[in-house]
Amino acid sequence: MDHPDGDRSRRLREVAGLFFRLGVTAFGGPAAHIAMMHDEVVRRKKWLTDQEFLDLLGATNLIPGPNSTEMAIHLGFERAGWAGLLAGGAAFVLPSTLMVLGLGWVYQRYGSTPGAAWLLYGVKPVVIALIVQALWSLGSKAVRGRLTALVGLAAFGLFFLGYNEIALMLAGGLAVMGVENFQRWRSARLVPAVLPALPALTWLAQAAQAAAPFSLRVLFLVFFKVGFVLYGSGYVLLAFLRADLVGRLGWLTEQQLLDAVAIGQVTPGPLSTTATFIGYQLGGLPGAVLATLGMFLPSFLLVAVSNRFIPRLRSSPLAGPFLDGVNAAALGLMAAVTVQLGQDALVDPYTIALAAMAVLALFRLKVNSTWLVLGGALLGLARFLAAG
């Protein structure tokens, strides 16, 4: 249904404003970003129901690219159409991109990365609380019975045994679809809504096959290829970039790559803005722009193509259960990532108490997640100053 021009403009401003604010404050990786988005668009603004949010999350987990950025693109489209699709993703990525660009300039000028341990010390416990809240809310929708509960628990356990995340989600979807449609299993065919174009990816892989002088064109193609095949945690990005930029092309040293990932970690927004930092180090401002564009352009293309298939997936007697299984597995993986993050975040009584207070503020006082993140940063700074 079309909205009047005034309503369309208002929705577009809402999308741009929300995701720009989240882009400034969304620390902690994709799980935390998605938790903050859920808090805003489901609990507070009621743009979507829990089930609709889960379906978008499941669809996002099935396509390559940075998950939280793709959720911003999906949610922007749901709220404000095609203009919202562009505004949601761009507004979410822009703050981190600008911060990373500034830090890239500092790094190139002074040869070191500015310390931000005090910031992460206070923010990480709040991030854990945000993810716990999202798991609690989404879990009540994703776990539809014993079968989906088992799928979620299996994904949680197998993650720690080293199984691939996308394989676990696909297996969970197929398991639920198979059990709930046993009689139709032999005739059922699962056709993914979106498949990366293999010939195109082959060409992209061959475009920079061996060590070569630096080229802006090849830089763009390297990040465009990575954006089209990156599954799983944002830290999988490190393996891709090491193989291409350190091992094959020889454009970066190991230390430069680790510094680039560190910059991506201590800034809000998607870790994939590491591309901006690397692009700036290699090719100045044009390199930063092209690397960032190459990294995120596939996400906009994949979401634009896949979004229209999501309602059909939910209504299908075969694909609906498949999506239920993917959702359950995704929640299990999200819980597993929370355990890993918790080991790094809850390191002393102060951080444990901070996480507990954040949980109380979220569940009982309904405090906005943005203010909690900022409060955590200030408390981290206070602790840093008190320590001398």
Helix (H, G, I), strand (E, B) or coil at 192: coil
Selected residue with higher pLDDT from 342 and 48: 48
Candidates 232, 214, 212, 230; CA nearest to 290 is: 214
Residue 86 has what pLDDT? Answer: 93
Number of neighbours of residue 364 by Cβ within 10 angstroms: 8
């193989």: which residue's tokens?
A: 243
Reported confidence tier of residue 211, pLDDT bands at 50, 70, 90: low
Alpha-carbon distance of 350 to 194, in angstroms, equals 46
Residue 297 has what pLDDT? Answer: 93
Candidates 73, 198, 154; CA nearest to 325 is: 154
- Give the amino acid at 44: R
Angle between the N-to-C axes of helices 369-386 and 30-38, in degrees from 0 to 180, rounded to the nearest 10: 130
Mean pLDDT of the chain: 79
Residue 120 has what pLDDT? Answer: 66
Residue 265 has what pLDDT? Answer: 64
CA distances from 371 to 128, 203, 362, 374, 382 (A): 15, 46, 11, 5, 16
pLDDT, tens only, 213-246: 888 999 999 999 888 867 555 555 666 777 788 8
First to last CA, the chain: 59
Q: Which two tokens stand for residue 173?
A: 């979807």
Alpha-carbon distance of 137 to 142, in angstroms, equals 9
Number of independent structural domains in the chain: 1
pLDDT, tens only, 89-137: 999 999 989 998 988 888 777 665 444 566 667 877 887 887 787 788 7
Alpha-carbon distance of 299 to 302, in angstroms, equals 5
Q: Which two tokens stand for residue 363?
A: 């569940």
- Give the amino acid at 100: V
- Name the DSSP class of 252: S
pTM of the model: 0.63
Alpha-carbon distance of 95 to 14, in angstroms, equals 17
What residues have CB less than 8 Å from 27, skipping those under 6 apart? 119, 120, 123, 124, 127, 268, 373
User: Cα 278–281–287 angle (5° rounding)?
Assistant: 75
Number of neighbours of residue 273 by Cβ within 10 angstroms: 31
Strand intervals (E) in the chain: none
- Using CA atoms of 294, 295, 298, 301 in order, give the dihedral in degrees to the nearest 10: -80
Reported confidence tier of residue 273, pLDDT bands at 50, 70, 90: confident
Q: Which residue segment(s) compose the domain that 42 sits in?
A: 1-188+195-388
What residues have CB less than 8 Å from 373, skipping those under 6 apart? 25, 26, 27, 36, 123, 126, 127, 130
